[in-house]
Amino acid sequence: MKAQHEQRRKERLDRGIKVRSDGIYALMSWRELCYLVLPRLVLIVGILMLPLLMPTMYWQRVISIVCIYALLTLSFDFLAHFVGLVSLGGAFFIGTGGYLAAILNQSLGLPPLLSIPLATVIGAIICTLFLLPCLPLRGVYFAIVTLMYPLLLMRVIEALNILGGTDGIVGIGSFANRWVEQYFIIIMVLLFLFGVRRLVNQDLGLVFRAVKDNDQAVRASGMSITYYKTIAVFIASAMGCLGGAYLVHIYMWAGLSTFALDFSILPIAATVIGGAGTLVGPVLGAFILVPISELLRAFGTLRIVFYALILLAFIVFRSEGIMVYSQRKYHQFEKWVRV
């Protein structure tokens, strides 16, 4: 009897279409067009359908929250993997954007569709100015400072009893109806997702990546690294402030909880799960992680345990993340061959 030992090896073949240069494809047939467009189409249509599929008001609200986290995750992934700045600034951005929108709505009487864009731009300017001093520094300083600001602002608001103190600012105007409310943020997520993806492949995006890769070489090329980091931080904080401004309009309330640590931490987990550096992956990560953490709400604080276990499992078993994994599966045939 022969031993049943048989050596096998995985062979991978590129399924890809002929690529002339990045971004320009030589399309040969409808099949190839579908191959290219289908994943994007599924993603866009899928996200656009979500509000229609949600059964209850509660779950529609969850979709809105998911989108806010998706923006934060996108902002985190962009800064961490394309500029080299590890940001824990989610809470800082949400809080700044949130309180700004609240002030604009309350004192100037601006409707949400005006106060949100304004709060996004002004908030991003404010956040960037606050973070400017630590931009020339390398290492963990940026992460630490982004984490400290929300704690600091929270205490200031509490101690000085400004901006509504611990009660927060109440009675903020809401959206005309729930469709506007939902589709506004969904379209924003899609716009920023494809916008950032485009940006990182353009020349300006290349400079961002160069700053991450080798900042000394960027300086030797006659470019100020602080200047480019400033632009990148502006873009990233704009995404966060947009989320914050939107958040206070759906809850019609801006309070200290807009500075909650969750906004800083969850994006990191979502990025790990989705696949760091892919931009789409982390957004999907947010779409998976936030509902799970909502489902586990019944377990009270115990859900942190589940949440930690999921994260741990992802780090241990699939450290590349969902997106990287499925991209590989999509682009390559895999078969076992006998050796």
Partner 1 sequence: MNAPPLLQVNQVTKAFGGIFALNDVSFDLHEGEILGIIGPNGSGKTTLVNCITGFIDLTAGEVLFRGRVISGKPAHKIADMGVTRTFQIMRPYFSLPAYKNLVIPLFAPRAKRTGGWRGGGKLGDRNTVSIDILEELGFERESFVPYKMASNLPTGYLKRLELARCLALNPEIIICDEVFSGLSMSEIASMVPLMERLQMEGITLIMIEHRLRELFRVANRIMVLNFGEKLMEGTAEEVMADEKVKEAYFGSEEVEEVMEHA
Residues that bind partner 1 (CB under 8 A): 21, 203-204, 206-207, 209-210, 213-214, 216-225
Output the CA–CA distances (angstroms, integers) from residue 172 to 106, 151, 154, 169, in the order listed: 6, 24, 20, 7
Q: Which is nearer to partner 1, 166 or 224 (CB)?
A: 224
d(CA 126, CA 234): 9
Please state whether beta strands 19-21 and 24-25 pair in parallel, antiparallel, or not at all (unpaired): antiparallel
Q: Which is nearer to partner 1, 224 or 332 (CB)?
A: 224
Q: How far is the CB of 145 from partner 1 (least distance, A)?
A: 22
Nearer to partner 1, 196 or 289 (CB): 196
Q: How many residues does the chain have?
A: 339
Q: Within a 13 Å sphere around the CA of 160, how many CA atoms are in the beta-carbon half?
A: 8
In whole angstroms, how close is the CB of 48 to partner 1 at the nearest point? 33
The Cβ of residue 123 has, within 10 Å, a number of other Cβ atoms equal to 27
Nearer to partner 1, 166 or 201 (CB): 201
Nearest distance from residue 39's CB to partner 1, in Å? 24
Q: Which amino acid is at 237?
A: S
Which residue do the tokens 């390559």 mark?
A: 332
To partner 1, the closest distance from the beta carbon of 202 in angstroms equals: 10
Q: Report the SS3 class of residue 28.
A: coil
Which run of H or E residues covers position 187?
helix 178-201
- Quote the least distance from Cβ 212 to partner 1, whole Å: 8
Which residue's CB is nearer to partner 1, number 225 or number 242? 225
